[in-house]
Structure 1
């Protein structure tokens, strides 16, 4: 049994691990898309536990470029951490090469589940400060569906034989496709459709960097690459808030359905504003996203990673949401803490949410 870097010949073995724990197995095209990450550099896509040719564990490694003023930094976040019962106790061996990447300012786990959460701090990762570490905000739009789904999951956990009988529940009813161009959005909000380098989003990205905070790369080119993920069943929604000078805040959201007995959720993947944006920008985008979620037949709108800056910008909207966190889902290991990275305010965009969410099955 050995830990080694993942390569594309391991796709079938890693997908088998996904299937073993009832996670959707990504397509071959997905893995090749992930390999084309513009920020990947020399980093491996992850590591596997190779047991004489059989893959018994996987930890994905997703690298991103960060900017502060004119200086660039690199960090990586993990995803799809799976260890087979055949390799029980080998998680440490998978995490060690992830932590040991020498050219990164930090490595993170920003989407930990409640099972893995207590383990990671023992391997050298530290929880981020609250609210980022333990808050997931959810605005419930159809309480009845959420309660029924919770009751069904509770029954199925006690009687696992019911899972195949219950099948995929809470799917949207067939209706004309959602067209964001036909929605009467709140004042100031518009759909972002043009991601060419010289369009409004390109100007927004340059201003975001000029504000001087540590920010993950969100250039139009990076967004075009993200939106080209081949396993998407529906294009993510991009909304912008505009003031008299142009685009000053934006949000990205996409549908998810965590399991057959989960409701459909509109997940906020990114939510960020430049310094000149008015205090109303982020709350207005949340209002627009709630409107979109209803039209897309989602039962709730969720922000799965909430930095202190975002929490403050939400204003009263944060108080209207339910906290679905609490177990601790966001960890980081800083290779150079003295360099002043404590001002970092991560969003879900910097985790694995955009490319690992289980999506509603196509109907």
Structure 2
């Protein structure tokens, strides 16, 4: 599988990383496979689709949803993609099958399997805020040059900055601080309890689930978690990952989660603004919000209006079971998809040569 992923320039996993994925609590509850492969007559893996089952909380009920990730099919295995997606959609024990991270090539395939854009109004929207336009333009030129060598899949690591090794101290506005502990009885646990009591459909963000995600052995850097507090405690939380999708791309601060209590109107925008302002201090050339729901977009105010629009091909698709909760109660973020297991961490200097 790693050879197949590397053949298209996608991040691979260590043996420990694949084993960790197999310990997904929600997946083990329903004995879900980690994915499906297609083999050639010679036993080579020529097609792969990963299967990540995530726990949902809905009014005290524990539900499960399945998100597909890293679908890759070699040219000689034409038609295998349809079979892989059919296998994914035929699995039982989940109320929804979805992807929040389809690329422009795979997006049309999902529509043929009766997966519809979701959320409908924002399924093709990504927002970004550029901090270093020179690095972003240099990346475009490097990748354009790389397309002249289509047979080459290994490139030296470019666009590294000293901040990736030695970040500057964060400068956070009043009311914002780093959330670094997730004890079962701590303030974050209280925030999750209040969030889940609101009765919306949410992917599990409990301390136990966060601890499992952050234990991924292939995370070279721990995610940055910021919280916005009022007198009564946490009212909004953001999770961001410093990623570098390809050796020829600059580092990007990917905002993979942004939530708030229903009566907190400003927290999401305050936290996002703090991440945007601190991105250069961490070595990121831009900040990106890769999954946007109408609920979240409404709370980002002027900060959303200053963003660059990315995407456009429809990267979010879902198919819901008839017996599940009302999909309108779900406002997904990148946390709800495969981003936390598929993003390539920005390398640390000691690992740069290995990552290349």
Task: Tell me the SS of whatever aligns to 1:234.
Answer: coil
Aligned to 1:310: 296
Alpha-carbon separation, structure 2, partners of 1:58 and 1:176: 34
Is structure 2 residue 324 aligned with structure 1 residue 334? no
In the alignment, which residue of structure 2 is the partner of 1:96? 86
1:141-167 deviation line (CA, Å, top 9, x unaligned) = 111211222122223324558986x73
Which of 111, 118, 128 matches 2:101? 111
- TM-score of the superposition, structure 2-length normalised? 0.92
Which moved further from structure 2: 84-93 or 308-317?
84-93
Q: Does 1:156 align with 2:146?
A: yes
Q: Is the 8 A contact 1:186 1:287 kept in 2?
A: no
Q: Matches of 1:73 and 1:159 in 2, distance apart?
A: 46
One of 321, 329, 345 as aligned partner of 2:307: 321
- Secondary structure of the corresponding residue to residue 144 of structure 2: helix
- Aligned pairs, number: 346
Q: Do structure 1's residue 31 and structure 2's residue 18 form an aligned pair?
A: yes
CA positional deviation for 1:24: 2.4
| Between 71-80 and 170-179, the greater mean CA deviation after superposition | 170-179
Change (3 A) 1:123 1:163: closer
| SS at 1:345 equivalent | coil
Q: CA deviation at 1:70?
A: 1.7
More moved, 170-179 vs 208-217: 170-179
Matches of 1:129 and 1:191 in 2, distance apart?
30
Q: How does 1:238-317 map to 2 (within 5 A)?
A: 238-277=225-264, 279-317=265-303
User: Does 2:39 match 1:50?
Assistant: yes
How far did residue 239 of structure 1 move? 0.4
Does the 8 Å contact 2:224/2:239 carry over to 1? Answer: yes
Is the contact between residue 255 and residue 266 of structure 1 (CA under 8 Å) also seen in structure 2?
Answer: yes
Residue deviations 1:15-49 (CA, integer Å, cap 9, x gap): 11112212222100001110111111221111111
Q: C-alpha distance in 2, partners of 1:254/1:175?
A: 12
Q: What is the rounded CA distance, in whole Å, between the counterparts of 1:334 and 1:318 in structure 2?
A: 29
If the length of structure 1 is used for normalisation, what is the TM-score? 0.90
**Structure 1 unaligned runs (5+)?**
1-13
Counterpart of 2:201 in structure 1 is: 214
Kept in 1: contact 2:51–2:67 (CA 8 A): yes
- For residues 336 and 315 of structure 1, the distance between their equivalents in structure 2, rounded to whole angstroms, comes to 35
Equivalence for 2:330: 344
Q: Which position in structure 2 is the counterpart of 1:226?
A: 213
Query: Residues 287-322 of structure 1: CA distance to partner in whole angstroms, max 9, x if unpaired?
Result: 211133111110000000000001001111101110
| Local SS of the residue matching 1:312 | helix
User: Could you say what secondary structure the match of 1:193 adopts?
Assistant: coil
What RMSD in Å do the two structures reach over aligned CA positions? Answer: 1.9
Paired residues for 1:53-64 under 5 Å: 53-64=43-54
| 2:353 corresponds to | none
Query: Please, which moves more after superposition, 77-86 or 167-176?
Result: 167-176
Partner of 2:157: 168
Structure-2 separation of matches of 1:285 and 1:97: 39
Partner of 2:352: none
Q: Deviations over 1:274-293 (max 9, x none)?
A: 1132x221111012111331
Is this contact kept in 2: 1:257–1:360, CA < 8 A?
Answer: yes
What secondary structure sits across from 2:258 in the alignment? strand
- Corresponding position: 1:15 with 2:5: no
| Cα 1:168/1:176, change in 2 over 3 Å | closer
| In structure 2, C-alpha distance between the alignment counterparts of 1:61 and 1:156, rounded to whole Å | 31
Unaligned runs of 5+ in 2: 350-356
Equivalences for residues 123-202 of structure 1 within 5 A: 123-158=113-148, 160=150, 167-173=156-162, 177-178=166-167, 182-202=169-189
Q: Secondary structure at the match of 2:257?
A: strand
Shift of 1:83: 1.1
Please state whether the residue corresponding to 2:92 is helix, strand or coil. Answer: coil
